[in-house]
Amino acid sequence: MTRRLNFVDAFLWAFRLMVVAVVVWGTVGTLRLGRYTGEQWMDFVVFGLAQGGIYALIALGYTMVYGILRMINFAHGEVFMSGAYTAYFVAAPLAASGFLNRHPILSLLLLVAVAAAVSLGVAVLVERVAYRPLRRAPRLVPLITAIGASFFLQYAFRGLYGSGFKAYPEFELFKGEWQVLGVGILRTQAVVLVSAAVLMFALYQFVMRTKVGKAMRAVSEDKDAAALMGIDVDRIIVLTFAIGGAAAGAAGILYALVFKQVHFFMGFVPGIKAFTSAVLGGIGNIPGAMLGGLFLGVVESVGPALFLDGLGIRAPYQLKDVIAFTMLVMVLIFRPQGILGERLAAKRA
Amino acid sequence: MWRVGLVFGAVACFLSLAGLVEALHARWVVDGWVSAGQVLLGSLLVGAGAVSARRARTPGVGRIGAGLVAGATAGATLGLLVWLSRQVDLRSVFVNASPTLLQLLSAGRAPDEAWLGWTLLGIVLGGLGAGAAAAPRRAVGPLATGLGTAVGLALFQELVLLVLQPEGLAPVRDWLFVAGGGPTVQGAAVVFAVATGGASVWQAVRARPSRVAVLPPRVARAVWVGVGLAALAALPVAGGPFVAQVLVIVGLYTLMGLGLNLEVGLAGLLDLGFVAFFAIGAYTVGLLTSVGEHGIAHWSFWAAVPVAVLVSLVAGVVLGIPVLGIRGDYLAIATLGFGEIVRLLVLSDALRPWVGGSQGVLAIPKPVLAGFEFSGPQHLYYLTVVASAVVAFVAWRLQDSRLGRAWMAIREDEDVAEALGINLVSVKLLAYGLGAAFAGMGGAIFAVMVGSVFPHSFQLLISIQVVALIIVGGMGSIPGVLVGSLILIGLPELLREFGEFRFLVYGVALVAMMLLRPEGLLPAAAQRRELRALEEGAEPVAVAAQEAVVEGGL
């Protein structure tokens, strides 16, 4: 058996070495070229952190649902989209009436609340229709309904709201830069980073400190034992979807702040990247998802310039998603238990 | 029961706002009387009544009552939408809330009148649905078939008109259809009557206990196969280039479906990056045969196809090796990642000098065989049919071979399969490689069909469509693949007008199939046996476990 596997192992080692070689060679090349200043690197990192914060917020939903149900909520990217897209129809009139810039903080909170509420509703609905009836079906079955639900949601929103991009209104307050420790940071990115951090902290406290959070952790440890302890498992599952959905909705607003537009297909790529973050951090592990998100965001933001520019590749920014997807594939192949090495890895198979 | 009504009402509102009702409203089912959009709304009200009657616990009158209430609720919900549309400008949010839609929904009445009207209509139709649910199947079945056929006549009107094109058939055409409009009253009525009659006769024949076989089964089967082949050969000639084009696309998806069926259906390896192999086949043929800028060899199509199949096979194995150790949902995501990486790389400027970036590979010549050029879709159709037949034959022989049984074994349980002496590495790699080779063949034909290859033709969407058609047809079933691609690819291609709603339907189809008929429309025999055994044997355990959970929850 081990002898047969050798050829596969050799292939995998070659794959690993190739990626390492690209990274090292590219980095050396880029640094030798010296095309970017320290300030530019700093910008990359900050942008990466802001984006990573968004991924992390979405990743919470994946990781919590996986922790409890051992399934990938493939439609989570669409849950993220639905909140941001719907909140656009609140943001646009607010901006038109001038309220948005008169009370920017209040407006932002309002938008986050709307988006979170919508995403929460969608997440719970998806759970009710597509997952709950199949709780005891073979593993592939809920994955297929999840793909179906994701597809349905995309095209439902396309049907309802149209297929074009919608330009999100901008906050006057968040234009320009803030000086932090002598470094200029784009205000939007600072706002996104701080909001993401606050939300994640709140969520973490909720899961770790409250009774419901404890129940959630209990259910993810052992569903049957939790039921014996008097926990309503179905209610906890709905709650998990609800909280994950709300976090995704809030992330949707932050995403709209950074990219300034929404679209019915906008959930797909962030969804996959958030999933990558969740796996990177060890799926089922909440702080892991946060770390994974930030890590992925930074690598993806710095990567094209650092790894690819030095190789003389044309237009490396087009390959930004290739870096993210390569990380996804690599982490699934080489370290499915994630960076933090969660015990779940042994159980899943 | 009012909850059922609410759900159906909400679905009706959603379909209205998503634009489907308006799109269907453009089609007459009976010219000047009823449009397909109205039929859709009406059937939702009937459905509300029927479902709620089915669910009602009390028999007899209670069921009818439940139907009435559900219908009324559903109607009232729609009425609420009409009322709302008068209060606020729905169109600023919902792009499809057009004046036409509102005109259709309110029938030009005042809001409270329309509301009352919908509620009353809901009561009537809900009651009808409840009646249909309570009535014996024997009576309702043929009627439903008749109605369905009449609606089908309207939806596929262009196809029917195409067949009736010859001058000699002009009287039939004028009698069935209003010129430039939908079916005439007498046309719809006759089609309805004929279909209903036919269905009841068929039912009666099938219900007869002693069926005397006219022909020995083998001969009967041969006759059916002959008829099928003749129909297959005649279709593009009878239907014209449009139908042929649709059938070519169906054939390409069948090729891909057969390939993915080896992976998903037999070996249980859900591959969401499958389109990559289709792309690799297409690009290989494109690069080898193109007479344009990116062509490297100017080969003929026939020389390029084996190479394309081989390259796809190798690609399948190469991408299969790293994911050997991954199972289940992680595998789905990892393959999805590979598929996207391939597409993004091809699209990028980095590889533009070789594969043309977003502009793709152009000027791919049509295949020429002994001086005959496969130029139009009608010619390519035969090429596709032959390719599909060859691939289907290979897939069919593989299925019951030692390899096929090994695939099914790893689908059921990898660990047990390994313990039984199945070499997981080679068996899995063969699944990936052969599946990819089939898709590469499809890609090769696609390249010559379009005459150019762009990265935009190879979206994730296609992988998901292929998964969907396998699920709908029945996992692991070869005829199921054909049925799935006819339904999911062929129908939407024929109904081009409603094309933008097809993906909505795919999503619903995937969820609904898993909930209602997980074995698919034409399930493989083994799958069917298994699911039946599961229903009979394993159900009590699951129920007991569920009860334990519920009780624990209290």
Q: What is the ipTM for the molecules in this complex?
A: 0.84
* Cβ contact A26:A311 at 8 Å: yes
Who among A11, A147, A318 is closest to B464 (CB)? A147
What one-letter code names the amino acid at B27?
R
Residues 423-462, chain B: which have Cβ within 8 Å of A? 423, 425, 460
Question: Comparing C-alpha atoms, which of B48, B67, B71, B46 is closest to residue B58?
Answer: B67
pTM of the entire structure? 0.84
In whole angstroms, give the CA distance from residue B120 to residue B234.
50
Q: Where are the domains of chain B?
A: 2-206, 244-459
Question: Comparing C-alpha atoms, which of A22, A17, A64, A51 is closest to residue A241?
Answer: A64
In whole angstroms, give the CA distance from residue A98 to residue A338.
46
Mean pLDDT on B40-49: 87
* Cβ contact B255:B275 at 8 Å: no
* Cβ contact B409:B416 at 8 Å: yes
Q: Inter-chain contact B337–A227, Cβ cutoff 8 Å?
A: no
**CA R_g for chain A:** 21
Where is B368: in which H helix or E strand? strand B368-369
Who among B333, B467, B549 is closest to A275 (CB)? B333
Q: Is A32 on the interface with B (CB under 8 A)?
A: no
Calculated CA dihedral for residues B466, B472, B475, B480, nearest 10 degrees:
-90
Separate counts of helices (H) and strands (E) for chain A: 14, 4
Q: What are phi and psi of A177, to 5 degrees?
A: -120, 160
In whole angstroms, give the CA distance from residue B255 to residue B52.
42
pLDDT at B528: 63
Chains A, B: CB contacts under 8 A, how many? 191
Q: Inter-chain contact A151–B425, Cβ cutoff 8 Å?
A: no
Top-ranked range on mean pLDDT: pick from A55-59, B234-238, B500-504:
A55-59
> If you search the block for the tokens 């054939």, which residue do you land on?
B251
In whole angstroms, give the CA distance from residue B423 to residue A140.
23
pLDDT at B215: 67
Q: Inter-chain contact B350–A314, Cβ cutoff 8 Å?
A: yes
Contacts of A114 in chain B (CB under 8 A): none
* Cβ contact A56:A290 at 8 Å: yes
Q: Is B323 on the interface with A (CB under 8 A)?
A: yes
Where is B171: in which H helix or E strand? helix B170-176
Residue B536 pLDDT class (50, 70, 90 cuts) = low
Token duo for residue B134: 């309570």
Contacts of A5 in chain B (CB under 8 A): 425
How many CB atoms lie under 10 A from the CB of residue A336?
20
pLDDT at A167: 84
Where is A167: in which H helix or E strand? strand A166-167
In whole angstroms, give the CA distance from residue A237 to residue A68.
7
Where is A178: in which H helix or E strand? strand A177-180
Q: Could you say which residues of chain A have pLDDT below 70? A: 1-5, 182, 340-349
Strand partners, B35: B28
DSSP state of B79: H
Contacts of B349 in chain A (CB under 8 A): 314-315, 318
Q: Inter-chain contact B94–A161, Cβ cutoff 8 Å?
A: yes
pLDDT 10s digits, B346-398: 888 777 777 777 777 877 777 777 777 777 787 888 888 888 889 999 998 98
Residues 220-279, chain B: which have Cβ within 8 Å of A? 268, 270, 272
As a whole number of angstroms, the longest Cα–Cα distance in chain A is 72
CA distances from B410 to A144, B372, B416, B532 (A): 19, 46, 8, 21
Strand partners, B30: B34
Measured on CA atoms in the order A159, A163, A164, A169, is the torsion positive or negative?
positive
Q: Is B467 on the interface with A (CB under 8 A)?
A: yes
The DSSP-derived string for B427-484 is: HHHHHHHHHHHHHHHHHHHHHHHHSSB-GGGS-HHHHHHHHHHHHHH-TT-HHHHHHH
Contacting residues for B397 by C-beta, under 8 A, at least 6 apart = none
Mean pLDDT on B181-207: 84
How large is the angle between the packed helices B460-473 and A140-161, nearest 10 degrees?
A: 120
pLDDT at B527: 62
pLDDT at B101: 82
* Cβ contact B332:B271 at 8 Å: yes
**Lowest-confidence region among A285-289, B55-59, B525-529, B546-550:** B546-550
How many CB atoms lie under 10 A from the CB of residue B343?
23
In whole angstroms, give the CA distance from residue A332 to residue A276.
9
> If you search the block for the tokens 């030095």, which residue do you land on?
A310
* Cβ contact B99:B32 at 8 Å: no
Residue B547 pLDDT class (50, 70, 90 cuts) = very low
pLDDT at B35: 85
Q: Is B299 on the interface with A (CB under 8 A)?
A: no
DSSP state of A103: S
Q: What are phi and psi of B420, to 5 degrees?
A: -80, 0
pLDDT 10s digits, B307-348: 999 999 999 998 888 888 787 778 888 888 888 888 888 888
Who among B501, B515, B545 is closest to A133 (CB)? B515
Q: Is the predicted pLDDT of residue B552 greater than 70, yes or no?
A: no
The DSSP-derived string for B472-531 is: HH-TT-HHHHHHHHIIIIIHHHHTGGGGGGHHHHHHHHHHHHHHH-TT-SS--HHHHHHH
Who among B95, B467, B549 is closest to A162 (CB)? B95
Token duo for residue B63: 């069921």
Question: Comparing C-alpha atoms, which of B271, B372, B266 is closest to residue B315?
Answer: B271
Q: Is B69 on the interface with A (CB under 8 A)?
A: no
Distance of CA B11 to the CA centre of its chain: 21
Strand partners, B34: B30
Mean pLDDT on B527-533: 62
In whole angstroms, give the CA distance from residue A173 to residue A100.
10
The DSSP-derived string for A275-300 is: HHHHHHT-TT-HHHHHHHHHHHHHHH
Percentage, residues of chain B above pLDDT 70: 93
Question: Comparing C-alpha atoms, which of B305, B475, B451, B465 is closest to residue B399?
Answer: B475
- The structural domains of chain A, ordered by start, are 50-347 (1.10.3470)
pLDDT at B209: 61
pLDDT at B434: 92
In whole angstroms, give the CA distance from residue B355 to residue B351.
6
* Cβ contact B464:A147 at 8 Å: yes
How many CB atoms lie under 10 A from the CB of residue B150?
24
How many CB atoms lie under 10 A from the CB of residue B48?
35
Contacting residues for B368 by C-beta, under 8 A, at least 6 apart = B300, B301, B374
* Cβ contact B157:B183 at 8 Å: yes
Residues 61-120, chain A: which have Cβ within 8 Å of B? 71-72, 89
3-state secondary structure of A99: helix
Residues 279-318, chain A: which have Cβ within 8 Å of B? 279, 313-316, 318
Beta strands in chain A (DSSP E): 166-167, 177-180, 183-186, 261-262
Task: Give the up-direction half-sphere exposure of residue B492: CA atoms within 13 A in the CB hemisphere.
Answer: 16
Q: Inter-chain contact A228–B336, Cβ cutoff 8 Å?
A: no
* Cβ contact A109:A250 at 8 Å: no
Contacting residues for B540 by C-beta, under 8 A, at least 6 apart = none
In whole angstroms, give the CA distance from residue A38 to residue A46.
12
Residues 478-517, chain B: which have Cβ within 8 Å of A? 500-501, 503-504, 506-511, 514-515
Task: Give the up-direction half-sphere exposure of residue B86: CA atoms within 13 A in the CB hemisphere.
Answer: 15
